[in-house]
Amino acid sequence: MIAVWMAYAVVVSAVFALAGVALERSFRFARRPGRLPVAVAIVGSVVVPLLRWLQPSAAGHGGILARLSAPLDLGAQALVSLSDVSGIGAFDTPLIVLWIAASLTILISILVVQTRMVRDARRCTKGVVDGAAVLRTRSFGPAVVGSLKSYILLPTWADGLEAQSRRLAVLHECEHVRARDPQLLFCACLLAALHPWNVALWWQLTRLRKAIELDCDQRIVNGGVDIRSYGNLLLHIASRRAPTPLTTLAISNTRTFVERRITAMADHKVRGKHLRAALAAVCGVVLFGLGCETPSPVEVEEPDANLQQQQQEILATNFAFVYVHIIDGRSVPVTVTGEQLRPETQLTQRHQQELQQRFTEGKLTPAEYEREHERLERIE
């Protein structure tokens, strides 16, 4: 059943991912930090499937959300049926082994990269630029490294920038440190590493990285920075873009995302933004509710063999049916108890019905009918 649960977790993560996108849009329209709903969606993608696995009875029932999640309930039952037919349960042990191996590999890689970057950063020359303590690197940066204690990395080529541009680059990284963005991203990476097969969760991780950068841009713009100058700085740094580790926040991004960041900063006057924010918020809340109400395949109970046997015994001892034999023009009532309805007696009952039908149609004489009827009674 572990494969079925994995599929269920991916579905729940996809629902939470859509909820996070909707609520992030709503927060953007309201000029609020968009990384918060994305981070909550990541946590929900991990916690809800785990709770459903540990406590299947914790799922809510009834209400509008339960009705909306009815198709998901059918999907959960279909997953259980598929696992029973295809024998997916036989792959539980190999899947768990692969899961543990993949998670350990990713976790070790993250820790090694983080340790190496912090170690290399401490070997860099310390300095103070525009009032901020920085570590000077040859080419990597501007960036922030370190999950426990954060360090600002500033490359030497930044000395060639104009004073205002260099100040904006340092300010950007200081905003990341002040908002504890490196710690948030590191925790999200750890959650994703524990679920290496959950593609929806990894997609949310990329959304979180982008949301963190958009929030940082918004805070800088709110501080009165000229958007044109800041945008030109982002484009200049993007042209010198270098590979960035997953857990590291760097001001450099792809040119496409940098253009989106500039558009988001300049897009202050959006028509009907309050209505759009409200609609996006409603969609996000409904999707969050659906994610919490999504039924787990664990909740689909298998038939209880003992219960079925008890029901048969109750039927055998407490119920009876009466039908009438017509013999030589006389009505003879015959009582059939639940005991006679057991599977081992159903064949004899069918023969009795066929015998009755043949006698009614005149194919048997009364003597032949009595003789066959006595033979069937002896068989019983």
Q: What is the pTM of this model?
A: 0.71
d(CA 156, CA 154): 7
C-alpha 187/C-alpha 174 separation (Å) is: 20
pLDDT in tens, 327-336: 445 544 555 4
275 and 326 in a common domain: no
Count of domains observed in the chain: 2
Same domain, 109 and 165: yes
CA 380 → CA 72, 169, 311, 324, 374, distances in Å? 50, 95, 23, 18, 10
Task: Give residue 304's pLDDT.
Answer: 52
> Are 205 and 256 members of one domain?
yes
Shared-domain flag, residues 252 and 363: no
Kindly list the distances between the CA atom of residue 267 and the CA atoms of 55, 213, 218, 224, 261, in Å, as whole numbers in the listed order. 46, 16, 11, 15, 10
User: What range defines the domain where residue 355 resides?
Assistant: 307-379
- Predicted confidence at residue 91, as pLDDT, reads 77
Last residue of a domain, one of 278, 299, 320: 299
- Same domain assignment for residues 198 and 259: yes
Give the bridge partners for 327, in sequence order.
330
- Coil/strand/helix, residue 267: coil
Q: Same domain, yes or no, for 285 and 319? A: no
> Which of 262, 277, 299 delimits the end of a domain?
299
Report residues of the chain scoring pLDDT below 50: 59-70, 74, 79-80, 85-86, 299-303, 318-328, 331-332, 336, 339-341, 343-344
pLDDT at position 347, please? 52
* 46, 14: one domain: yes
Residues 180 and 251 in one domain: yes
Question: Is 280 in the same domain as 343?
Answer: no
Same domain? 140 vs 123: yes
Residue 170: predicted pLDDT: 93
- 190 and 322 part of one domain: no
Last residue of a domain, one of 243, 265, 299: 299
288/324 same-domain check: no
Q: Hey, is 248 helix, strand or coil? A: coil
Single out the residue of 371, 332, 376 nearest to residue 351, CA to CA: 376
- pLDDT value of position 344: 47
